[in-house]
Amino acid sequence: MIKFEEVTIAYQNHTVLEKVNLNIEKGVITTFLGPNGSGKTSLMSSINRTIKPVHGNIYIDGKDIAKLKVKNLSKIVATVPQLYSSHFNFSVFDMVLLGRAPHIGYMPKKEDVLKAEEAICNIGIEDLKNKEFNRLSGGERQLVMIARAIAQDTEVILLDEPTSYLDLKNQLKVLSMVKEINLSKKVTCIMTLHDPNHALMYSDRIVLFNNGIIETGTIDSMINAKNIFDVYGVKAEVLDINNKKYVIPDY
């Protein structure tokens, strides 16, 4: 579905990732794991062209994204940022309706309004519909942004550290919602996460970032004691408890 071909990302004279070759499967949840500064967000941002690689190409379904108009790319890829604040006093409904922007000409049509309402219902935030977005909690805002991504009606959803700044309950709620969207709508989801346990619980494939080297595989093949130590410098055990795996750090 998504193919990185010899992709190099750099900021001024600092190369973050060099000659990345990676394939991301269609219809699964792929999680980028690695320490801060390892290039996870940079590589993800190259998919929606927020960051432009200095070398190489990225393809979605065989289409070179560098040759797509921004509006056309926005019909394929939606993004849920880490934390979002609006400069305007939008209601939750208006924020979700903004997800329809790539499909709207001059004014929203009835179909756009229905798509926004459907997304709000899918996420279960009908009670927030008329509230001011900027007055919501962090967890509520993340759910609204996921609803906006659903309303955008894309093949791919990018989620940059969707659990940042959230308490445990909201972390699990947001990740469960991502899993549900992936299963029900067959959307390809790509997440950056910090917690290997969340990756174990909610991912199908893992991409590990380690000092500019990228490896990919299943959660079973990638999340193990050796890789946790190599990537994070932390000694840990990966235990199987009631048929579920957990990363237990040695502290």
- Give the three-state DSSP class for 125: coil
Prediction pTM value: 0.92
Beta strand 156-160 with 77-80 is parallel
pLDDT band at 155 (very low <50, low <70, confident <90, very high): very high
Each residue's pLDDT tens digit, 168-177: 988 898 899 9
CA-to-CA distance for 138 and 127, rounded, in angstroms? 16
Map out the domains of the chain as residue ranges.
Answer: 2-249
Amino acid at 64: D
pLDDT score of 217: 94
Domain 2-249 of CATH type 3.40.50.300: yes
DSSP string, 45-67: HHHTTSS--SEEEEEETTEEGGG
Q: How many CB atoms lie within 10 A of CB 54?
A: 13
pLDDT score of 89: 83
Q: How many CB atoms lie within 10 A of CB 103?
A: 17
Each residue's pLDDT tens digit, 107-140: 899 999 999 999 999 889 999 999 999 999 888 8
- Helix 110-123 and helix 138-152, axial crossing angle in degrees, nearest 10: 140
pLDDT score of 139: 85
User: Residue 87 pLDDT more than 80?
Assistant: no
User: Residue 164 pLDDT more than 90?
Assistant: no
Question: Position of tokens 């940022």?
Answer: 81
Each residue's pLDDT tens digit, 22-67: 999 999 999 999 998 899 999 999 999 999 999 999 999 999 999 9
pLDDT score of 159: 95
Question: Position of tokens 């969207």?
Answer: 181
pLDDT score of 82: 79
User: Residue 228 pLDDT more than 90?
Assistant: yes
CA-to-CA distance for 9 and 137, rounded, in angstroms? 34
pLDDT score of 198: 94
